[in-house]
Amino acid sequence: MTHPSSSFSTIRLKPKSNARAIRHGAPWVYDNELVMDRRTKSIPAGSIARLEDEERRFLALVAVNPNSRIVARVLDRDPDAQIDQAWFEARLTAALAHRETLFDQPFYRLVHAEADGLPGVVIDRFGDTAVVQPNAAWADVMIAPLCAALAKVAGLSTVVMNGTGRARSLEGLDEKTDIIMGEAPEPIAVSMNGATYMADIMGGQKTGLFYDQRPNHAFTQRLAKGKRVLDVFSHVGGFALASLSGGATQAVAVDSSASALALAEAGAAAMGASDRLIIRKGDAFDMMAALREEGELFDVVICDPPAFAPSKNTLEKGLRAYERVARMAAPLVKEGGYLGLCSCSHAADLEKFRSACNRGIGRAARSAQLIHTGFAGADHPLMPQLAESGYLKALFYRLMP
C-alpha cells in the first residue's frame, strides 16, 4: 500500500495548541489539541494525514485514529514522503544497524515504537523469527508492507503478528494473533547473559520473552554468585535462570502460570541447571506469605511484577501494590542481602516508584541502602519527548544488618 501525499486528508491544530512541541520532536497529538470537526472525525482509523498548525503551515505527516485519545502520531516531517514498503525498509535498516552494533547474536528488540520512528510498533527478534506488535491503527492497516519490509531487511523466515494487549484496546483494535510468514514456531531457545530462556512465540505473554531486563539480569548475576535466590513473578525464569548462570547455588522461581514455569524448567534443563532450580506455582503474594511462615530467608530476592499502574487512573492503586510487594519481600532477605524491585508501569515514574518501595521496606521494619538503579537495555531506546518510552525501572537495595 502506497500513500501519495496528494491524497492525504488535512488535520489542524487548535489555535492555542503547542505547534512548537511538534516541531521540536513531540510524537503525539491528542484529541483536545486538534480541531475535531465532523470531517476529521470521519477519517478512517489508520489513515495518513497532513498535520498543519493554526496558520495552515505543514508540520508532519501523521497516522490518524479518531477513536483514540492520541488522534495523530508523527510518521515523517517530509511533506513529500511516500509511506510504503521502501519507507518501512529505510526505518528498519536504521533500527537493525543499531542492534547489530550492540549484539553479536540476532536476539533483541529490533523496533521500540516511536523511538525508532515507527509509532506504536514493537518488534522483537528471535534469530530468523520476529514477532510484530502493531499497537496503533496505522500499523494494523499497513501490516503487509511492514512485514514484507521486515522480512527483507532482516532476512527472516518467520514473522508472527501478536495483536493482543491493552495498547490495542485503547486504539479500538481487535485482539488477534496471526502467522504472517512461515510456520508456527516451537518455543525458541534464547541465550542471554549465559542463561538459556525458552521463548513461547505463539502462546506466551507479549512477544514471548522480555528482552528489556537483560542488563538488570546481568547486574543480579554479580549479586547472586554462590548465593540462594528468590525470583518472584518469575515468568519464564527471568532472574532465576540469570542467577543460576551467574553461579547461584539455588534459585526459587515463583509464578502463577504453570506454562511459564514449565518454560523456566526447560531453560534450566538446557543449561544443565535443573538440580538448582525450584519452582513454586501460585499467587505471588500468597507465596511470599507462605515462605515467611516457613521461616525462609534468601541472600537475594527479586520481584518483577506485571504493570500495576498501566495508566494515570490506576496510579495510586498501583503504587500501593508496589509498596505491598516491597513490604512482603523485605522480610525474606537475609541481613546484608539484596532486594531487587522492578516496575514496568510508565505511569509510575522513578520518583513515585522509589518512594513506594522505600515505604514498603520501612513498613517491614527493615533499613536499606539503594545501591543501583537499572533501566531497559539500549535496544529499548528512549524518546526524550516521550516519558512512556522509559517505562522500566529496577531498584536494587542492600538490606542493612
- Catalytic residue ranges: 344
Q: Are 392 and 376 in contact (CB under 8 A)?
A: yes
- Partnered with residue 228 across adjacent β-strands are 250
Q: Are 186 and 199 in contact (CB under 8 A)?
A: no
**Cell of residue 345, nine digits:** 508501569
**Cell of residue 225, nine digits:** 554468585
Q: How far apart are CA 252 and CA 222, in angstroms?
A: 17
DSSP 184: P
| Exposure class string for 167-190: b at 16+ Cβ within 10 A, else e | bbebbebeeeeeebbeeebebbbb
**From the CA atom positions of the chain, what is the Rg in Å?**
22
Q: How far apart are CA 374 and CA 396, in angstroms?
A: 8
* Beta strands at 277-281 and 28-30: parallel, antiparallel or unpaired: unpaired
